[in-house]
């Protein structure tokens, strides 16, 4: 998938009859299975900004994990950039997660003993870039997210909003086609949340990056131009709409 360009009229993501169940007891005991997703059908196109909403237990984080190649469906198929993810080798899955998908989480997931600069450089090092060049590129992305003066700071020396900007820089540094953000403002105050969402909107608008975020908050979802709502593992709403002005 790396380096693949998808035409705007072709879906970046296509999900067909996707189901997910977890066995809570023993593999041979099918009655112990807990079904989380039921026959999900979905197409997402390059450059879309999508919010996935739903109550706790609705399946939204499970769906996000499958879209991020962090989990696999029990049934159905997931096509990413024109390829069936089920055909990817473990090495290909690792490359996709490193180079084609940027992840942003509620808890930031920064390494506490590394500076902001080195946290952002990690995906480049995993991709095989040398340390000097990776730090140069990491600096560029920190500057673009307004943290150029905080490169030597450790996570515990940064505010929550600053830590999330580091996490966003890390997600962007390999210039992915897709950003997946799971409750990215969940640990932030209202003003900082608005700043982070404005940054996502800018990235989506100016770089044409596809953004998919999970949120419980209507005001956060308002930044997206498409809303997908899950209930009990089913899509109950999928609509395109106007967005919050930023």
| pLDDT at residue 7 in the model | 57
Residue 132 CB partners (closer than 8 Å, separation 6+): none
Q: 3-state SS of 60-104?
A: HHHHHHHHCCCCCCCEEEEEECCEEHHHCCHHHHHHHHHHHEEEE
DSSP assignment letter at 199: H
| pLDDT at residue 3 in the model | 44
Q: CB count, 10 Å around CB of 142?
A: 25
| pLDDT at residue 23 in the model | 77
According to DSSP, the β-strands at 226-231 and 210-214 are unpaired
| pLDDT at residue 42 in the model | 96
Q: How far apart are the first and last CA of the chain?
A: 32
Q: How far apart are CA 56 and CA 148, in angstroms?
A: 37
| pLDDT at residue 9 in the model | 78
| 2 to 7, 48, 81, 90, 194: CA distances (angstroms) | 15, 19, 9, 15, 32
Q: Which domains does the chain have, with CATH numbers?
A: 47-74+89-240 (3.40.50.300)
**SS3 call for 121:** helix
Q: What is the pLDDT along the chain (246 residues), one digit of tens a residue?
A: 444 455 557 899 999 999 999 876 655 555 557 899 999 999 999 999 999 999 988 999 999 999 999 999 999 999 999 999 999 999 999 999 999 999 999 889 999 999 999 999 999 999 899 999 999 999 999 998 999 999 999 999 999 999 999 999 999 999 999 999 999 998 899 999 999 999 999 999 998 999 999 999 999 999 999 999 999 999 999 999 877 655
**SS3 call for 203:** helix
| 155 to 5, 108, 120, 185: CA distances (angstroms) | 35, 9, 12, 17
Joined tokens for residue 94: 């690792």
Let me know: does 230 contact 236? Beta carbons within 8 Å.
yes
| pLDDT at residue 205 in the model | 92
CA-wise closest residue to 119 among 99, 100, 141, 101: 141
């Amino acid at each position: 998938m790396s380096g693949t360009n998808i035409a705007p009229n072709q879906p970046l993501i296509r999900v067909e009859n996707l189901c997910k169940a977890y066995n809570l007891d023993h593999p041979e005991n099918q009655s112990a299975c807990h079904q989380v997703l039921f026959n999900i059908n979905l197409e997402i196109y390059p450059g879309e900004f999508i919010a996935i909403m739903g109550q706790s237990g609705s399946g939204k984080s499970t769906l996000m994990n499958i879209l991020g190649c962090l989990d696999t469906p029990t049934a159905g198929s997931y096509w990413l950039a024109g390829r069936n993810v089920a055909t990817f080798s473990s090495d290909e899955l690792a490359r996709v997660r490193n180079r084609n998908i940027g992840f942003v989480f509620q808890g930031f997931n920064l390494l506490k003993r590394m500076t902001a600069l080195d946290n952002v450089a990690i995906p480049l090092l995993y991709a095989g870039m040398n340390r000097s060049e990776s730090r140069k590129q990491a600096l560029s992305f920190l500057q673009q997210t307004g943290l150029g003066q905080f490169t030597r700071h450790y996570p515990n020396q940064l505010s929550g909003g600053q830590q999330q900007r580091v996490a966003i820089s890390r997600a962007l540094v390999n210039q992915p086609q897709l950003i997946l953000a799971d409750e990215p403002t969940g640990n932030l105050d209202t003003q900082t949340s608005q700043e982070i969402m404005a940054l996502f909107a800018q990235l989506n608008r100016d770089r044409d990056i596809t953004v998919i975020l999970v949120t419980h908050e209507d005001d956060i979802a308002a930044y997206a131009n498409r809303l997908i709502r899950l209930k009990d593992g089913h899509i109950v709403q999928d609509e395109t709409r106007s967005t919050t002005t930023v």
